[in-house]
Structure 1
């Protein structure tokens, strides 16, 4: 399965690896190999990491903590203390190393460093009072995204997946009403 990176921040994209959290969640990270593929596909993270059972569980724990904190921010409620501990603990690990060369930017590090980088990204985002976080407006989608649109009018996590579905459903409803 391909991963979707539409949330506007890598930490939020990690939380989006669980689809439709309300009804029957679909977890895209079921094995350490899935996590390794996600890290490689995510911009700004190392192009090669190895996940063992312990680091895989740490990543899933971080993902869920990030989701709870992002949802706390969307719903304008106090942050969950346990989630804060998990994210702050992950951020305390040294992050990935970066190098600049004629070929561009290269990021290197192990999985704990990549998780640290994600946690730091989330901390920066969640601490920003001007960051506009929203939950996708398509029923069934629970992805939280950063709305950088003009006037903060974006309604869906991504047009390709959710926006098109909502618009197609509205079109079909209008057609049924016109008949």
Structure 2
């Protein structure tokens, strides 16, 4: 598996394909038609078939991803609604979505690159336009910019995923406490 899915949410995990976006050199995971097709497969947007992504599909997908992030960022920071970003997401969502097909044993989901992207855009609209928008948070690890829905009891979740960011933050706090305990205490003469 080439991609990570810490949120369990299609649109927010798609936003996470640009990792550490505030770092001097963010990590782009959508670098080719193959990496975009792999993300659609691994995310379950397509199943039992493949999406045939072309080079022109990558910048379109990145534009939708960045528009989703702009809308989420505005929501999280109580900034004005971004009309341009909304129009990009809405345009992608207007196209037909991926098509699930029932099979004698299981199912298959067929999609063109545009249909797969439409499925992601529709999920973003469902989040941002519904009650789940109140649950949006950004990971508390400074190096991470993953956005997630906080469904924890009391809404006190701090990290996108405990296995990655949560463990790193807890280890960092532990090392800082240990370092403070080993510092010699200065005494006055």
The reply to whether TM is greater than 0.5 is yes
Match in the other structure for 2:147: 144
How far apart, in 2, do the equivalents of 1:108 and 1:4 lie?
A: 22
Are 1:62 and 1:87, in contact at CA under 8 Å, matched by a contact in 2? yes
Aligned residue for 1:53, secondary structure, equals coil
Q: 2:58 aligns with which of 56, 59, 64?
A: 56
Change (3 A) 1:165 1:73: same
Aligned residue for 2:100, secondary structure, equals strand
Are 1:6 and 1:13, in contact at CA under 8 Å, matched by a contact in 2? yes
How far apart, in 1, do the equivalents of 2:6 and 2:13 lie?
A: 7
Q: Normalising to structure 2: TM-score of the pair?
A: 0.89
Higher Cα Rg, which structure: 2
State the Cα deviation string for residues 113-146 of structure 1 (Å, max 9, x = none). 0100100010000011344000000011111111
Pair 1:29-2:20 in alignment: no
Match in the other structure for 1:73: 75
Shift of the alpha carbon at 1:73? 1.5
How far apart, in 1, do the equivalents of 2:93 and 2:19 lie?
A: 25
How far apart, in 2, do the equivalents of 1:40 and 1:130 lie?
A: 25
Pair 1:120-2:122 in alignment: yes
Query: Number of matched residues?
Result: 179
Q: 1:160 aligns with which of 159, 163, 181?
A: 163
Q: Normalising to structure 1: TM-score of the pair?
A: 0.94
| RMSD (CA atoms) | 1.5
Are 1:8 and 1:146, in contact at CA under 8 Å, matched by a contact in 2? no
Q: 1:171 aligns with which of 174, 177, 184?
A: 174
Unmatched segments (≥5 aa) in structure 1: none
How far apart, in 2, do the equivalents of 1:7 and 1:128 lie?
A: 17
How far apart, in 1, do the equivalents of 2:82 and 2:170 lie?
A: 35
Match in the other structure for 2:187: none
